[in-house]
Amino acid sequence: MQFDRVIDNLPPGFDEMRAEASAEGYRHLERLALDWASGAMRFKGEGEALLAAHVQGALAGIGGLTIEPVVPGAFRMRRLYVREPFRRQGIGRRLAAALLEPALARGAVVTVNAGNIDAVPFWIGLGFTPDLRDGHTHVLCRPPIVQNDL
């Protein structure tokens, strides 16, 4: 598996993945496409990222991290999706971890809106705890990693 940072264009295969997500009833990739096209969300702020997961050259998943607009100093997980043929292989967990690690190393709080009940166990498994406020459903807090120069 390989993670590629999405910078200028949504990755090849995104439109097919978006159609699959929509057919499953998930609309968050539609929102990603609209926000990307309008320039409203490009994941370019300090600490932000949009990653595409590829398995043997195929787009397997996507997910992003942005500055949380409501909670000062926090980040927000956004638009995480793994295509059905690639689920239950740890791709979503590894994608989320790749996005979370830099934020958590800085001691930042990370929020997520689990969106639907099926996603809750995934986020809980990553260490998020329920927190129903400010437009999110769960929060993850860890102290910053401190380097000891002894």
Q: Is residue 34 part of a domain?
A: yes
Q: What is the pLDDT of residue 14?
A: 98
CB 83 within 8 A of CB 89: no
pLDDT in tens, 42-84: 999 999 999 999 999 999 999 999 999 999 999 999 999 999 9
| Residue 34 scores a pLDDT above 50 | yes
Cα–Cα distances (Å) from 12 to 58, 85, 116, in that order, read: 9, 17, 27
Full-model pTM: 0.91
Return d(Cα 64, Cα 5) in angstroms, integer: 10
| CATH number of the domain within which 83 lies | 3.40.630.30
Can you give the residue range of the structural domain that contains 84? 2-140
- How many domains are there within the chain? 1
pLDDT at 1 over 60: yes
- Categorize the per-residue pLDDT at 103 as very low, low, confident or very high, splitting at 50, 70 and 90: very high
